[in-house]
Structure 1
Amino acid sequence: MSDCLQRFASSLVVSCQPVPEGPLDHPDQVVGFALAALASGGRGLRIEGIANLKAVRAATDAPIIGLIKRDLDTSPIRITPFLDDVAALAEAGADIIAFDATDRVRPVAVAELCKAVQAHGKLAMADISTIEEAKAAVALGVDVVGTTMSGYTGGPEPSDPDFPLLAAAVRLGRPVIAEGRIRVPEQAAEAIRLGAHGVVVGSAITRPEHITHWFADAIAAARAASARPSLAFDLGGTKTLVALVDGDRIVEANERTTDRHLDPDDWCDAIAELAAPWQSRYGAIGGAVTGVVHAGRWSALNPGTLPVSANYPLADALERRLGRPVVLHNDAQAAAWGEYRFGAGAGRDLLFVTVSTGIGGGAVIGGRLLTGRGGVAGSVGLTQETAGVPLETLASGRFLADAAAALGHAVDAPAVFAAAARGEAWASAVLDRSADVAARLLQNLQLLFDPAIMVVGGGVGLADGYRARLEARLAHLPPHLKPEIRAAALGKSAGVIGAADLARRTL
C-alpha cells in the first residue's frame, strides 16, 4: 500500500467543497476549512477545483484527493470527466485523483482516465454507485474505490449511507473509501467497522448552509407538529380510547368497549369513527395497541388478550382511513414513555409494568424507549414462572376472574377487589396470589435493569390496596435491591399521551 494511503488508513478525510457561488466559495475559505479539519483530527482532504487545490496544497502536505466538477450538456458525468482535467489536477498537487466511474454515457472511458492518472504518478480513485461498477474498476487496476456516487445516478436521493455497497466493495480486496450521506459520527464509525480504508465527510462539516437547513427544517417540523394537538388511540383487550392530545393534556376523548369478536378491520373502523369529529384539528397520529407492532404490522403476543391475526398491516389500514401516516407502539411501551415524559417518571430511568386484563411492560433507559429487535421489549407478562405458563395468567385481571370462578364466584376483577374490601377472605386470598407473582416480577426486573423507579399501572395495578400488597412483599429487601414503586400518574391516559408524544417526535 502506498505511503499516501497509509497516512489516512482507518481515518477521517474531510471534503472541503463549499456550496458553489455561496459566501464561502473562495480559495481562502477552502484553505481555512482544510487547516481547521486537519487540526481537529482529519488525516486527509478532498478538494474540488484547480484554484482551491493549489491554495490548499501550498498550505499543507496532507494527502489530497483532487477532482474537478463540470456540468456537461452531453453527459451526466460531472467528476473529472476529461483527460485534461487529470493533467491539471496532477500539476496542481493532488495525490489521488477521483473520477466518476459509473456506467453511464461519458466523454472519456473509465479505462483511459485510470491510465492517465497513473501515468502522472498519481493514485486513481474510481467513484462508483454499484458493486458491478466497483468490480469493473478493480479489473481496470484502479488504486482506490469510493462509494461516492451511490444514490446520485437517478431517482430519489436516499437519506442514509449505502453500507451494503461498502461492505460488498471491501470484499473485492482494494482500498475502499466510504463517502456519501455520512452525517453523524456513528455512521463514520460504522463505515470503519465495515472495513472502509477511510471515511469522507463533507456537508456535515464544511457546508454550513446544509447544516443550518437540517436544524431549521427539524425545528420547523417540530413547531408545526406542536402547533396542533396530536391524535392518539389506545386499542386494548377491554377498551378502545381515542383522544386529541396536547402535550400531557387530553383535550377531548372518545371511548368504547373493544368487541373481541370482531376483526382488526372492524377495530380500525371503530378508531376512525371515534376520531371523525376531529378530522381537521390534529397533526401527528400515534397509536398504542396490545400485542407486538413491528414495521407497521401487528400481531398478538397473547391471543387471550386480543385475538389478532399475525402481521396484520395496521399502519397501512389506519393510514387509509385517517389520511396520514400513523406511528405505532405497543401499549405498555407507549405508556412507559408517557410516564417518563409527563408522569411518575419525571425524566428518570424507569420500568413501567401494567397489570390489567393482561400484564405488559416498557422500559425507558438513558432517555430511550427500548423496543427491541422485534418490538417485544418489555413484554414481561409473557415471561414464565412455570414452564409453559405465561406469568400474566397467574396475576392479571383475567387471572382474578378465573380464580374467583374456580371458587364459585362468577365475578370480574373489580368485583374481586370490592369483595376483598368487604372483608371476604376468598377475595383477599385471590389478590394475594396475584400480588405474590407480581412482586417477584418487580424484584427480578430491578435486578435486571436497576431503574430509578418502577411505575405500576393498569386497572389491577392501580386498584385500591394492590400497590400496598406489592410493597409489603418487597419490604424485606435491602434498599439497593428494593424497587421504588410509584403509581402511574397518567392513569388510563398514559398510552395515548405517550403515543402522541412519540408520534410528534417522529415527524
Structure 2
Amino acid sequence: MTTSLLDTLRGGLIVSCQPVDNGPLDSIPAIVGFALAARDGGARALRIEGADNVAAVAKACDLPIIGIVKRDLSTSPVRITPYIEDVAALAAAGAHVIAVDATLRERPVAVAELLAAIRGYGRLAMADLSTIEEAYAAFAMGFDIVGTTMSGYTGGSTPDGPDLAFVTASKALGGFVVAEGRYNSPSLAAAAILAGADAVCAGSAITRTEHVTGWFAKAVADADRRRGETVLAFDIGGTKTLAALVRGETVIDRRLVPTPPDVGSAGWFDAIADMAADWRGEYHVAGVAATGLVRDGLWNALNPGTLAIPPDTSLSGELARRLNCPIVARNDAQAAAWGEYQFGAGQQRDMAFVTVSSGIGGGLVLGGRLVEGARGLAGSLGQVQGSKGDLRLEDLASGFAMAATAGEAGLPADTRLLFDAAKAGNTMAGKILDRAAARIATGLVDLQRLVDPQAVVVGGGVGLAPAFQAALNRSLELFDTALRPHVVFAALGADAGLIGIGHLAQQSDVM
C-alpha cells in the first residue's frame, strides 16, 4: 500500500479542503463540494480536517485522504492530531494517511506513540514539520512522508513566501517530501517541485475564499491608491534634463534644463535634486530615466560622446539620499519603451522601441514585461557595430552624427536646419538624411529578424521629424514585406520616458 499510494502522489497536487473556521463554507456539504471540485481539477489527494469531514469525503470521493484533527490546547502549542484518540477517529473515518505535528515542542503525547498508533491502524504516517532537524528525526523514526507544513508557524513572524530551502534540504535526506505552507500560486507550486518536493499541498488559495478575496481586494485597492498618487520623474539626456510630476499618463508639471556639467559629481547630483526642491511632499517615490547603461541603480556610459558618466556612478543611491524617497532607475529608452507600451503607440503589444535623437537608444517589451537583459543592454540598437567593429549605428545615423556630417559638408551642423535644407531641395542635405535613414531602416529590419515584435515604435526628436519619417519609410519600402517591420511612430513624444519611468516607479512601489 505504501509504495502504490506514494507513487500516486508523486509529482501531483494535494488540495487541503479546510474552509475558514466558522465561515459560511465551514460545513460538511461545502467540504465535500471542495473535494469533488479538486478531484475534477486534477488533484491527486486531499487533506481533510476532522473525522466527520473525512468520513463524508471518503464516501463521496475516491481520492486518497490525508486526515488531521486540529485542537487548540491550553497546555501545548501543538494543534495537529495531538492525541491517540484523534488517530483512531481518523483511521475509522477512512483516512489513508494520518498527519501529526511532529515538531520538537512540548506536547501531550510523544511523537513516537502517535506514530505507533498510526502503524497499528495500518495507515501511512505524515510528519508536519518546521525545521530540517525535525525532518531528520521524523525519517529516522520511520515516517512515510514529511511535510514542510509548520515552517514559519512555530515562533516569530510568518514569512510571506514558502520555505523552498527547507524543501530542498528535506529531500536531500532521501524520503518522500510534501511541500506545504504558503504555496499560494501555481508558480510557487511549480517552484516547490523544482526545489525537490515529491508533491505539493495547497489550501488557502483554493478553498479559503475569504483569504483569496482579501488578497485580490488588497492588491486592487493598493494599485488604485498608487494610480492616484504622484511620482517624481527625471529624464536625463546628453543635452537636456527633464524633471516632472507624473500621475499615470499625465504630466502635471515639468522643468527643463540643460544637463548640468561634471556628471556624477556631488554638485551634479545636487543640481538634479534641486530641480524638484519646491515639489517636496507631493510625491512618495521617484523614477529616473537616464541615457547610458543603468543596472541595479548603477550608471555607466554606453557612449561617452553622448554623456561622459564616471564608471559605476550610484545613480539611485545618490538621488535617494537627496530626495529622501525610494528611487527606480532605468535606461531612458527602456523607460520610454514602457511608456509607449502602456499608454502610447505600443498598445500593449509585443514591441521594440527605437529612439532617434542626439543618440540612438531602444527598449523591448515582450510578453507584457520590460526586457532589460542580464546586463541592462536589451534593445540598445544604437550600439550595434558594423562588420569591421569600429563605428556604431549611433555614430553613423544619430542626430549628432547627421549634424557632424552636415558640418563637414559645409552645411549648418544642426539637424533641424539639415531637414529644412533637404525639404528645400538641397541635394547634399537630402543625401545625408537618406543615408542615415537607410542605416536605421537596416537596423530595424535586423531587429525584426532577431526579435520579431508585433510593432516597432520609433520616437525621439529626430525620429518624430516629418522629413526623417518620410526618408525612413522610403528606405523600408526597399525591403521584402516578410522582413519589413510594422513601424508606428511614438504617441507620447518627449514625455514617453517620463511617463514610462513614472509608471515603473509606481509598479515597484505597489509590488
1:505 aligns with 2:507: yes
Matched to 2:87, the amino acid is V
1:465 aligns with 2:467: yes
TM superposition score normalised by structure 2: 0.88
> CA–CA distance in 1 between the matches of 2:299 and 2:75?
50
Q: 1:193 to 1:115 in 2, by over 3 A?
A: same
- Which residue matches 2:449? 447
Give yes or no for contact 1:260–1:306 (8 Å, CA) kept in 2.
no
> CA–CA distance in 2 between the matches of 1:188 and 1:301?
40
> CA–CA distance in 2 between the matches of 1:376 and 1:47?
51
- Which residue matches 1:228? 229
- Which residue matches 2:127? 126
Deviation at 1:208, TM superposition (A): 0.7
- Which residue matches 1:243? 244
**Residue 91 of structure 1 aligns to a residue in which SS?**
helix
Matched to 2:228, the amino acid is A
Deviation at 1:165, TM superposition (A): 3.2
Q: 1:175 to 1:292 in 2, by over 3 A?
A: farther
> CA–CA distance in 2 between the matches of 1:131 and 1:10?
22
Deviation at 1:36, TM superposition (A): 1.9
Deviation at 1:395, TM superposition (A): 2.4
**Bigger Cα displacement from structure 2, 7-16 vs 400-409:** 400-409
- Which residue matches 2:346? 345
Give ranges in structure 1 of 5+ residues lacking alignment. Answer: none
- Which residue matches 2:192? 191
CA RMSD, 1 decimal: 3.0
Task: Write the deviation string for residues 7-41 of structure 1: whole angstroms up to 9, x where unpaired.
Answer: 33322211111112222223332222112211222
- Which residue matches 2:494? 492
> CA–CA distance in 1 between the matches of 2:297 and 2:121?
55
Task: Write the deviation string for residues 371-400 of structure 1: whole angstroms up to 9, x where unpaired.
Answer: 334433212222322354443233223433
Give yes or no for contact 1:237–1:260 (8 Å, CA) kept in 2.
no
Give yes or no for contact 1:235–1:289 (8 Å, CA) kept in 2.
yes
Give yes or no for contact 1:285–1:325 (8 Å, CA) kept in 2.
yes
Matched to 1:368, the amino acid is R
> CA–CA distance in 1 between the matches of 2:95 and 2:477?
72
Deviation at 1:216, TM superposition (A): 0.9
> CA–CA distance in 2 between the matches of 1:405 and 1:101?
81
> CA–CA distance in 2 between the matches of 1:218 and 1:366?
21
Matched to 1:166, the amino acid is V
Give yes or no for contact 1:260–1:307 (8 Å, CA) kept in 2.
no
Deviation at 1:497, TM superposition (A): 1.0
TM superposition score normalised by structure 1: 0.89
- Which residue matches 1:162? 163
1:434 to 433, 436, 453: 436
Matched to 2:458, the amino acid is V
> CA–CA distance in 1 between the matches of 2:67 and 2:30?
17
Task: Write the deviation string for residues 116-165 of structure 1: whole angstroms up to 9, x where unpaired.
Answer: 43343222222233444433433333211222233334444333333343
> CA–CA distance in 2 between the matches of 1:86 and 1:326?
55
**Residue 33 of structure 1 aligns to a residue in which SS?**
helix
Give yes or no for contact 2:14–2:201 (8 Å, CA) kept in 1.
yes
**Residue 448 of structure 2 aligns to a residue in which SS?**
helix
> CA–CA distance in 2 between the matches of 1:52 and 1:345?
53
**Residue 55 of structure 2 aligns to a residue in which SS?**
helix
**Bigger Cα displacement from structure 2, 269-278 vs 29-38:** 269-278
- Which residue matches 1:11? 12
Give yes or no for contact 2:405–2:413 (8 Å, CA) kept in 1.
no
Q: 1:114 to 1:305 in 2, by over 3 A?
A: farther
- Which residue matches 2:68? 67
> CA–CA distance in 2 between the matches of 1:222 and 1:41?
33
> CA–CA distance in 1 between the matches of 2:114 and 2:414?
80
**Residue 384 of structure 1 aligns to a residue in which SS?**
coil
**Residue 276 of structure 2 aligns to a residue in which SS?**
helix
**Residue 145 of structure 1 aligns to a residue in which SS?**
strand
> CA–CA distance in 2 between the matches of 1:373 and 1:87?
56
Deviation at 1:353, TM superposition (A): 0.4
Task: Write the deviation string for residues 165-191 of structure 1: whole angstroms up to 9, x where unpaired.
Answer: 333433332222122222222332343
> CA–CA distance in 2 between the matches of 1:308 and 1:132?
52
Give yes or no for contact 2:263–2:310 (8 Å, CA) kept in 1.
no
- Which residue matches 1:40? 41
> CA–CA distance in 1 between the matches of 2:266 and 2:34?
57
- Which residue matches 1:272? 273
Give yes or no for contact 2:228–2:248 (8 Å, CA) kept in 1.
no
Deviation at 1:458, TM superposition (A): 1.6
> CA–CA distance in 1 between the matches of 2:267 and 2:28?
65
Deviation at 1:316, TM superposition (A): 4.3
1:395 aligns with 2:388: no
Give yes or no for contact 2:230–2:246 (8 Å, CA) kept in 1.
yes
**Residue 436 of structure 1 aligns to a residue in which SS?**
helix
Deviation at 1:107, TM superposition (A): 5.0
1:369 aligns with 2:370: yes
Deviation at 1:337, TM superposition (A): 1.8
**Residue 251 of structure 1 aligns to a residue in which SS?**
strand
**Bigger Cα displacement from structure 2, 108-117 vs 210-219:** 108-117
Matched to 1:258, the amino acid is T
Give yes or no for contact 2:17–2:35 (8 Å, CA) kept in 1.
yes
Deviation at 1:303, TM superposition (A): 4.1
- Which residue matches 1:478? 480
Q: 1:292 to 1:157 in 2, by over 3 A?
A: farther
Matched to 1:448, the amino acid is L
- Which residue matches 1:95? 96
Give yes or no for contact 1:293–1:329 (8 Å, CA) kept in 2.
yes
Deviation at 1:352, TM superposition (A): 0.7
Deviation at 1:206, TM superposition (A): 0.4
Length, aligned pairs only: 507
Give yes or no for contact 1:334–1:498 (8 Å, CA) kept in 2.
yes
> CA–CA distance in 2 between the matches of 1:179 and 1:301?
47
Deviation at 1:244, TM superposition (A): 1.8
Matched to 2:483, the amino acid is L
Deviation at 1:443, TM superposition (A): 0.7
**Bigger Cα displacement from structure 2, 373-382 vs 73-82:** 73-82
> Percent identity among equivalent residues?
53
**Residue 443 of structure 2 aligns to a residue in which SS?**
helix
**Bigger Cα displacement from structure 2, 99-108 vs 226-235:** 99-108
Q: 1:119 to 1:274 in 2, by over 3 A?
A: farther
Give ranges in structure 2 of 5+ residues lacking alignment. Answer: none
